[in-house]
C-alpha cells in the first residue's frame, strides 16, 4: 500500500506552484491539465508539467498527471506529450469524468502503445479513475475492472453535484436542509467497488480552502468509512489530511500487538488456539483482519511502534 492520505492539486499552468509543490509534505501530487487550466493555456501547461517532472525533486511523492476528459479534443495529446516527454517520471495518470469502461480501455491501450514504443515497462504507468457523474457511478463496477493499471477510484463531488442537479454551490460541506450526509451512498458505493478490485479509494476536495476545520470534518466522514485519502487544494489542508487518514499512534500500536498475539496463539508454541485473550479483549481471525487494516495504514504513514509483544509463559 502506498500512502495517499493527501493528494495535492497543482495547476500545470502555474510554474510557481509547480516549484512550491516539491517542498510540501503531501503523499501525492497531481499536476493538473484539466479544470485548473484554461483552454488557451492547455498546450503550454503540458510543457510545464513535463519540465517539472523531468527536473525531479519530488522525493518519494507519488507523481501523477490529470489529463483532460475524453469528451474534449485534448486528451490523446495530453497522454502522448506527458508520457513521451516524462514517462519514466510518471507514476499514474488521472482520468477525469470517467463514464464507462470503454474510456478506461482506450487510455490503457494508448499507454501500452507508447510504453512499447519508448521501451518503458508495460503497465508501469498506473491509472486513477475519477467518478464525477451519475453515469459513472452506475457503471462503477465495470470501470473498476476495466484495466489492471488502475490503482485508485476518486470521487469528484463538484461535477457529480452538477450531474444530479443538486441545488447547492458548497462543495464538500453538508447541506443543512438534508438530514444526513447526501453523499454517503455515493462514497460507500465507490468504496465497495474499489475494495472489490483491491483499489484505493480517494475522497474529493473541499473547496473552502481557508476553512481547515471544515476540511477536516469532511475528511473524517470519509475516513470513518475506510477511505485512504482526500484531494487537497491548498497547502494548509495537507497536515489535516495526513492526520485524519492515519491511525492514531495508540490504534496502530494496538493493531500490531493484536497481529503478534494472534500469530503466536495460532502457532505450535502458542498452543495452536483459534482465539486468545489480549488483556481484557478476546481476539480471533476477525480481529486479525481488522488489525491488519489499521497496521497497513500505519506502516504506510510511517508510524512506529511504542510497545512490543511479549508471549505469555507456557502452560505447564
What is the DSSP-derived secondary structure letter of residue 170? -
More confident residue, 284 or 126: 126
Q: What percent of the chain has pLDDT over 90?
A: 80
Per-residue model confidence (pLDDT) at position 314: 65
User: Cell digits for 46?
Assistant: 503540458
- Note whether 48 and 13 are within 8 A (CB): yes
| Phi, psi for 165 (deg, rounded to 5) | 60, 40
pTM comes to: 0.91
Helix, strand, coil % in the chain, rounded to nearest 5 = 45, 15, 40
Mean pLDDT over 146-164 rounds to 96
* pLDDT at residue 9 tops 90: yes
Report CA 149 to chain centroid distance, whole Å: 14
The closest alpha carbon to 99, from 136, 143, 46, belongs to 136
The C-alpha atoms of residue 154 and residue 162 are separated, in whole angstroms, by 17
* pLDDT at residue 285 tops 70: yes
- Note whether 246 and 299 are within 8 A (CB): no
Per-residue model confidence (pLDDT) at position 178: 86
The closest alpha carbon to 68, from 31, 101, 105, 102, belongs to 31
Q: What is the band of 128 on the pLDDT scale with cuts at 50, 70, 90?
A: very high
Per-residue model confidence (pLDDT) at position 269: 79
Q: What is the band of 5 on the pLDDT scale with cuts at 50, 70, 90?
A: very high
* pLDDT at residue 316 tops 80: no
The C-alpha atoms of residue 252 and residue 250 are separated, in whole angstroms, by 5
| Phi, psi for 282 (deg, rounded to 5) | -85, 130
The C-alpha atoms of residue 69 and residue 215 are separated, in whole angstroms, by 26
152-166, 217-231, 255-269: least confident range: 255-269
Q: What is the pLDDT of residues 242-281, one digit of tens each?
A: 999 999 999 999 999 999 888 888 887 778 887 787 888 8
Per-residue model confidence (pLDDT) at position 264: 85
User: Collapsing DSSP states into helix, strand and coil, what is residue 151?
Assistant: strand
- Alpha helix ranges (H) inside 174-310: 184-196, 212-225, 238-244, 249-265, 285-300
Q: What is the pLDDT of residues 166-218, one digit of tens each?
A: 887 778 788 888 888 999 999 999 999 999 999 999 999 999 999 999 999 99
- Note whether 156 and 204 are within 8 A (CB): yes
Report CA 16 to chain centroid distance, whole Å: 25
Q: Number of helices (H) and strands (E), helices first, in the chain?
A: 12, 10
Amino acid at each position: 500500500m502506498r500512502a495517499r492520505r493527501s493528494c495535492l492539486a497543482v495547476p500545470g499552468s502555474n510554474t510557481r506552484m509547480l516549484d512550491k509543490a516539491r517542498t510540501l509534505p503531501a503523499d501525492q501530487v497531481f499536476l493538473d491539465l484539466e479544470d485548473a487550466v484554461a483552454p488557451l493555456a492547455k498546450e503550454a501547461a503540458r510543457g510545464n508539467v513535463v519540465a517539472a517532472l523531468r527536473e525531479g525533486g519530488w522525493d518519494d511523492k507519488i507523481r501523477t498527471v490529470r489529463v483532460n476528459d475524453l469528451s474534449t479534443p485534448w486528451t490523446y495529446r495530453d497522454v502522448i506529450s506527458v508520457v513521451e516527454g516524462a514517462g519514466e517520471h510518471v507514476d499514474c495518470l488521472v482520468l477525469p469524468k470517467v463514464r464507462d469502461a470503454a474510456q478506461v480501455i482506450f487510455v490503457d491501450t494508448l499507454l501500452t502503445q507508447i510504453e512499447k514504443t519508448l521501451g518503458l515497462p508495460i503497465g508501469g504507468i498506473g491509472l486513477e479513475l475519477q467518478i464525477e457523474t451519475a453515469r459513472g457511478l452506475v457503471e462503477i463496477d465495470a470501470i473498476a475492472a476495466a484495466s489492471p493499471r488502475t490503482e485508485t477510484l476518486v470521487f469528484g463531488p463538484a461535477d457529480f453535484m452538477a450531474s444530479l442537479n443538486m441545488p447547492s454551490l458548497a462543495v464538500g460541506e453538508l447541506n443543512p436542509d438534508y438530514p444526513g450526509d447526501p453523499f454517503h451512498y455515493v462514497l460507500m458505493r465507490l468504496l465497495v467497488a474499489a475494495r472489490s478490485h483491491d483499489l484505493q479509494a480517494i475522497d474529493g476536495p473541499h473547496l473552502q480552502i481557508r476553512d481547515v476545520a471544515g476540511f477536516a470534518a469532511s475528511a473524517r466522514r470519509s475516513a470513518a468509512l475506510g477511505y485512504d485519502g482526500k484531494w487537497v487544494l491548498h497547502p494548509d489542508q495537507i497536515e489535516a489530511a495526513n492526520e485524519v487518514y492515519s491511525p492514531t499512534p495508540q490504534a496502530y500500536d494496538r493493531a500490531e500487538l493484536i497481529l503478534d498475539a494472534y500469530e503466536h496463539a495460532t502457532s505450535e508454541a502458542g498452543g495452536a488456539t483459534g482465539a486468545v485473550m489480549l488483556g481484557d479483549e478476546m481476539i480471533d481471525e476477525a480481529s486479525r483482519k481488522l488489525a491488519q487494516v489499521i497496521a497497513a495504514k500505519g506502516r504506510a504513514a510511517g508510524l512506529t511502534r511504542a510497545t512490543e509483544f511479549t508471549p505469555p509463559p507456557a502452560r505447564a
